[in-house]
Amino acid sequence: MKIAALVSGGVDSSVVVHQLKEQGYDPTIFYIRIGMEDEQGYIDCPAEEDIEITTYIAKKYGCKMEVVSLHEEYWENVVSYTIDAVKRGLTPNPDMMCNKMIKFGCFEQKWGHEFDKIATGHYATTTELNGKTWLSTAKDHVKDQTYFLGQIDYLQVSKLMFPIGDLLKSEVRAIAAQQGLPSAQRKDSQGICFLGKINYNDFIRRYLGEHKGKIVELETGNVLGKHDGYWFHTIGQRRGLGLSGGPWFVIKKDTKRNIVYVSNGYDPETQYGKVVNLAGFSFITEDIWGDFEGRKDISFKIRHTPEFTHGYVEKIGDLYRIHSDEKIQGIAAGQFGVVYDADSKLCIGSGMIANEE
């Protein structure tokens, strides 16, 4: 079986190669460059060190390696999407788009189609049920990354392999240390990769500029301060507001009047909701519900967290409405809600949050 292993130089993808070799496979290693060079300045990940480590892994395990570029595709599918969403006052998810459109989209079209499987270092698993492949959660619930895979489709999930999905993070690091891999103690990457070492606000400022506006207390209407543009703030944000007497949380944004509304306290009633509307819902493996009346018990996430929230879903036209069993914080339009079965094992699909309850 021909396997393409996507290796970034981090500990997780490095151990993927070891696991595949242990299982008797001889993967071809691919390092994907996704930084972007444009007329306004250079944006890149610290790729040279990553490539050096990946090259070492390839030599250690006797694997063929290719460094491929998806600069332009990443800009068109991920960076532009992020800028547009922020400009509209939404909360984007670049990592989710990168998985769907780049790693398992453009890469597949250019190189992956020559292989039987694509292996990655995601903390996820697949489950075979009734002859079909389902995306399912990892052994390590803290590191589980199925949320970021919630937008992939059946053709993609049926071709994926997750060699470390049945391992704890501690076990992955132990294997890396035992094998003397240079990434064994390397810290996990944080943030959005295309930014490299550039500050997120500096990146947004480069493309959207600044536009002074008011910070207003939601309950009283009092003006508490000023901001440089609503696009620098996200729903649920606590830090970076520059207000005293907090904690203050961003509750909503008025994009037409450039106002950011905040509320004081750790858990005021205004921060929470129990209803999440999902538009454009897409099933990963198949539509397991069809046209139904009543409710379907589910678990779900509206962001990448170790915990699942339980509730039920109902269908209203083309809209799927989630009713949560408990109040949840920071429901943000533009973000994705990812739905799982009631046992939090199988990932069913996802839709974009269409409200800010």
pLDDT, tens digit, 9 for 90 and up, residues 163-187: 999 999 999 999 999 999 998 887 7
**Range with lowest mean pLDDT among 65-74, 264-273, 338-347:** 264-273
Rounded to whole angstroms, the Cα distance separating 273 from 143 reads 26
Provide the token pair at 112.
């992956």
Beta-strand relationship, 259-264 and 213-217: parallel
Beta bridge partners of 260: 215, 253
pLDDT at 41 over 50: no
> At a CB cut-off of 8 Å and minimum separation 6, what does 141 contact?
306
Active site residues: 98, 193
pLDDT at 48: 83
198 or 128: which leads in pLDDT? 128
Q: Are 102 and 65 in contact (CB under 8 A)?
A: no
Three-point CA angle 101, 104, 110, nearest 5°: 90
Rounded to whole angstroms, the Cα distance separating 172 from 217 reads 46
Indicate the annotated binding residues for ATP. 6-13, 32, 121
Indicate the annotated binding residues. 6-13, 32, 121
